[in-house]
């Protein structure tokens, strides 16, 4: 299919698992370790979807989403945040910053793919 997706998480384990799942489903996957890294990885390019964790050093998920939404290139890019069940406030914080949707950790690979397919 050739859809391009950017996965941002400061945990290598998470990054590896998400990349593995998405690649297996035919996505081109870019990865980044935190919000700042994500912005530099994207550069001026567009992607079909972005998945990001919230708690990250340098620039956290919320900051990343806000930065993305302020950039015309990414104003309409679907963005999913990874949240934990007990983090309801973060969920709405994410939405208010401009996130399209969310995925609750821990998630199964099927759930991840289903959610991604929902938005992009």
Partner 1 sequence: MSEQPTGFDDLAQFKQTFFEECGELLGDLEIMLMDLQGNPENATTDDLNAIFRAVHSIKGGAGAFGFTQLVTFAHTFETLLDGMREGNVPVTLGCVEELIRATDILCDLVNAAKENANLPDNHGAEITAALVALTASGAGAGAFKNNLDANEDPKIEASDEDEITVFDVWFKPAAHLFSNGSDPIMIFNELQTLGQVEITPDVSGLPALHSLESEESFLAWALKVTTNRGQVSVEEAFEFVEDDCGLVINAATSPDFPLQIRDIAVAAPVNSVVTPPPATPLPSATAPGPQTPAAKSPSAPTATSIRVDLDRVDQLVNMVGELVITQSMLNQLTNVEEGGVQTSNPDMVKGLEQLNMHTRELQESVMAIRMQPVKSVFSRMPRLVRELAAKLSKKVTLVTSGEETEVDKTVIEQLADPLMHMIRNSLDHGIEGPAERREAGKPELATVNLSAEHRSGRILIEVSDDGLGINRERVFEKATEKGLVPTDIKLSDNEIDNLIFLPGFSTAETVSDVSGRGVGMDVVRRNINNLGGRITVNSTPGRGSRFTMSLPLTLAVLEGMVVAVGVEKFVLPLTSIIETIRPNAEHVHTLVGQGEVLSVRGDYVPVVYLSRVFAIPDAAEKAAGGLVVLVDLANGRRIGIVVDELLGQQQVVIKSLEPNSPHISGISAATILGNGMVALILDIDGLQSLPQHDMSRKKMTGENGGRGQTRASQTETGKVEQCQSVGIEKEVRRIMEDQANLGVSIPSQYGQKPEQAAAE
Residues in contact with partner 1, counted by CB under 8 A, come to a total of: 53
Q: Is 22 in the site for partner 1 (CB under 8 A)?
A: no
Question: What is the dihedral sign for C-alpha 69, 40, 28, 24?
Answer: negative
SS3 50: strand
What does the angle CA 32 – CA 93 – CA 73 come to, to the nearest 5 degrees? 50
Q: Is 30 in the site for partner 1 (CB under 8 A)?
A: no
The smaller minimum CB distance to partner 1, of residues 7 and 77, is found at: 77
Which of 23, 45, 46, 106 contacts partner 1 by CB under 8 A?
106
Q: Taking each helix axis from N to C terminus, what angle separates 88-97 and 61-69, rounded to the nearest 10 degrees?
A: 20
Strand (E) or helix (H) holding 112: helix 109-119
Q: Can you tell me which residue has the tokens 């015309």?
A: 72
The smaller minimum CB distance to partner 1, of residues 20 and 45, is found at: 20
Binding site for partner 1 (CB under 8 A): 10-14, 16-17, 20-21, 24, 33, 35-37, 39-40, 55-59, 63, 66-67, 69-72, 75-79, 84-86, 95, 98-102, 104-106, 108-111, 117-120
């Amino acid at each position: 299919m050739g859809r391009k997706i950017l996965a941002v998480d400061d945990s290598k384990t998470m990054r590896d698992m998400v990349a593995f799942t998405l690649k297996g489903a035919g996505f081109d996957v870019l990865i980044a370790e935190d919000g700042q890294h994500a912005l530099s990885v994207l550069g001026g390019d567009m992607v079909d979807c972005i998945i990001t964790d919230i708690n990250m050093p340098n620039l956290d998920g919320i900051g990343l989403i806000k930065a993305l939404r302020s950039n015309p290139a990414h104003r309409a890019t679907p963005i999913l945040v990874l949240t934990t069940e007990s983090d309801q406030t973060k969920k709405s914080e994410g939405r208010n910053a401009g996130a399209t949707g969310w995925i609750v950790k821990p998630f199964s690979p099927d759930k991840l793919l289903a959610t991604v397919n929902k938005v992009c």
